[in-house]
Amino acid sequence: MYRRPRRRRVLAALPALMVGALLSPAATASASPAAPVSPAGPAAPEPAARIDLVLDLSGSMNENDAGGQTRLAAAKQAVTRIIDTAPGQAPLGLRVYGATYPGQDKKRGCADTQQVLPVTPMDGAARADAKQRVAGFKAVGFTPIGVSLREAAKDLGTSGRRRIVLVSDGEDTCAPPPPCDVARELKAQGVDLAVDVVGFRTPSSARAQLKCIADVTDGSYADADDADSLTADLGTLFRKGWRTYRATGKPVEGSLNGCQDAPLVAPGQYLDKFTGGRNLYYKVKKRPDQRLQVSATAVAEEGYGRGAIITVAAGPAGDGEPRAWLREFDQSMGWANIITTGGRSRPGAGNESPAPDDTGCIMVENDITDSGDKPMPVELLVGIADKTTQAAGARTPAPRTGAEAEGGFSFNSATPIGPGTHRQSIAVGEAPFWRVEVKAGQKLTVKGGVDIPADFPNSVTTGWNVTVYNAMREETLCNEDNDVTELFAGRTGHIERVCGPWEITAPDDTKSPDSKGYDVPGTYYIQAQVAEPHDEAKGIVVPISLTVDISGAPRSGNGPVFFFGDDAAQGPAPSGATGNGAESGSAKQDGAGDTAGAAAKDDGSLVGGLALPVGIGAGVLLLGGITFYALRRRGTA
């Protein structure tokens, strides 16, 4: 379980200290830098997980105890929903057992497993064929779970991310091989394969066996009692494989013991993990004339408990925590599978004392997980800005329209769009991302609409949520009312949520001292979702619209241009890909004497410097109609 913080933190103003140095490729005397990039994600996306659904069609599926219908009818309904909502390029296969032999010969009955649909992208033809086959299913035979798992692993091939989703209403009637032994056998092969299991009307005698299959393969287990719960459970499992946020980056292991033995990181994106309640530390280099951006995004398989906090800080590493260059935090505001924040250091005033060897420290503070919790992926984005990067300018991808503007599923794969209205459909439980480029002096307005059907099952906290993140991957305020979600309150039909208009300013712009996060020109991210849906609603497809308006003339002096690594991408995956990003950002350093690679050790000493007091604002966001709140600290160091 992801915890609430032990205490609420109302943070006072902190001193800002502009000392230390980070030697980026853009800063070396003899090197010609690559053009700076925005943190957009990889040009070549990681392929979607290949998923094989293994469905129990044994005779017990004819029992009429699944909410007024047979288990078989409920299973057909749930599987048809999965087929309907699968992304067009999502590889899906279907295997059944107990479907063809109704007799008593155990040898024949225990060999009764067939691949009904090969693992293939769900284009129009494959979708229609799959639904026709599901409609004709009959439940007649034995329950050869172990044999079917072995065959399903063969269906998926030997490369890439693979998942088996098993639906069963009872225990194996054909062992040997015992299903859990087969699961261990598959795991021992060392392949990237997990087995998720849904126990459908499963007796307690069989539940332990099914849970074992999931446990030994690092999969998930869920119980379902009727068609609605089976549909919700399957929808959750398939979204996890296809359309959830997939944390990506160059692997790195941050220190758990402070800055002294921390790895050195250069501009780029990295992938680490929170374990227990431990913080993560990294060394970083920054000259006094350079600016540093650090963003951290924690990703959970399920929604966070309200109140979880992530903090990112950086500065010279003295006796205390590093925070003199920047410090930002964000507190989870509800149903989401990410919590993210970021900050930028201020430019030097020219009289700072650099840290020894220009080395500082980044700390990502973990107030999300407790000891014993499952490790949680954390993306770390590091960027540098100076005169060289400013002169080179930033590369941004061309906006997309129409079918090409389908949202991606991470910051890295966010789809670039421009002003106008963009329409698509999403399944409830999905939270796609888009990105827009805005400059100081322009005003940004984002309007998201969703069409809710008349029979939509919602709870008192269900609503329509549109979230805007600034270029530091920090959540911004949506509107003056501080509403986080537009609650449905039983409403159906078209429901809209409007964020803005907000004027984009520069951090030191006195024209807008209360910018609510809109004080960073650059790439803004938009995320839309049906928040806190009832379980029965998960997987329902709803039409949405996203309207972006950018007005006003850009002002001169649009602020720093950040370099995020030589390999940072030009934009998200092409249309039709699942939006799961791959590695982003190199760790290359070109300066003489610098360490090539993202996580090289640097044993230089770390000391403090001169402190410059800077005020830091803290605010409380009241969440309309929902009994929780979020604290946001706007770092200015």
Residue 3 belongs to a domain? no
Q: Look up residue 474 and give its two tokens.
A: 């920090």
Domain-ending residue, one of 178, 209, 242: 242
Q: Look up residue 439 and give its two tokens.
A: 């400059």
Contact 459, 625 (CB under 8 A): no
Mark whether 181 and 259 lie in a shared domain: no
Residue 607 belongs to a domain? yes
Residue 9 belongs to a domain? no
For residue 507, count other CB atoms closer than 10 A to its CB. Answer: 16
Strand 263-264 vs strand 600-601: parallel, antiparallel, or unpaired?
antiparallel
Mark whether 570 and 615 lie in a shared domain: yes
Mark whether 450 and 372 lie in a shared domain: yes
Longest distance between any two alpha carbons in the chain, whole Å: 88
Mark whether 232 and 254 lie in a shared domain: no
pLDDT value for 89:
75
Mark whether 32 and 94 lie in a shared domain: no
Q: Look up residue 106 and give its two tokens.
A: 């155990």
| CB-neighbour burial class of residue 440 (10 A; exposed 0-12, middle 13-18, buried 19+) | buried
**Which CATH number goes with the domain that contains 90?**
3.40.50.410
Q: Range of 144's domain?
A: 50-242
Contact 586, 565 (CB under 8 A): yes
pLDDT value for 47:
55
Residue 6 belongs to a domain? no
**What is the distance, to the nearest Å, from the Cα of residue 8 to the centroid of all Cα atoms in its chain?**
25
Residue 1 belongs to a domain? no
For residue 163, count other CB atoms closer than 10 A to its CB. Answer: 24
pLDDT value for 426:
82
Residue 7 belongs to a domain? no
Mark whether 302 and 323 lie in a shared domain: yes
**Number of domains composing the chain:** 2
Stated pTM of the model = 0.67
User: In sequence order, what are the beta bridge partners of 424?
Assistant: 544
| CB-neighbour burial class of residue 356 (10 A; exposed 0-12, middle 13-18, buried 19+) | middle
Q: What is the dihedral of CA 368, 373, 375, 377, to 10 degrees?
A: -30
Mark whether 186 and 255 lie in a shared domain: no
Residue 8 belongs to a domain? no
pLDDT value for 285:
92
Domain-ending residue, one of 223, 242, 261: 242
| CB-neighbour burial class of residue 591 (10 A; exposed 0-12, middle 13-18, buried 19+) | middle
Domain-ending residue, one of 194, 216, 242: 242
Distances (CA, A) of 102 to 60, 94, 142: 12, 21, 8
Please state whether 152 falls in left (phi above 0), alpha (psi between -120 and 50) or beta.
alpha
Mark whether 162 and 291 lie in a shared domain: no
Q: Look up residue 99 and give its two tokens.
A: 């479907």
Mark whether 24 and 71 lie in a shared domain: no
To the nearest 5 percent, what fractions of the chain are helix, strand and coil? 15, 30, 50
Mark whether 18 and 72 lie in a shared domain: no
What are the residue ranges in the chain where pLDDT is below 70?
1-48, 190-191, 236, 239-243, 301-306, 318-319, 333-336, 348-356, 482, 507-514, 539, 557-558, 567-637
Mark whether 359 and 286 lie in a shared domain: yes
User: In sequence order, what are the beta bridge partners of 416?
Assistant: 435
First to last CA, the chain: 33
Strand 612-614 vs strand 291-299: parallel, antiparallel, or unpaired?
unpaired
Mark whether 254 and 237 lie in a shared domain: no
| CB-neighbour burial class of residue 464 (10 A; exposed 0-12, middle 13-18, buried 19+) | buried
Contact 293, 343 (CB under 8 A): yes
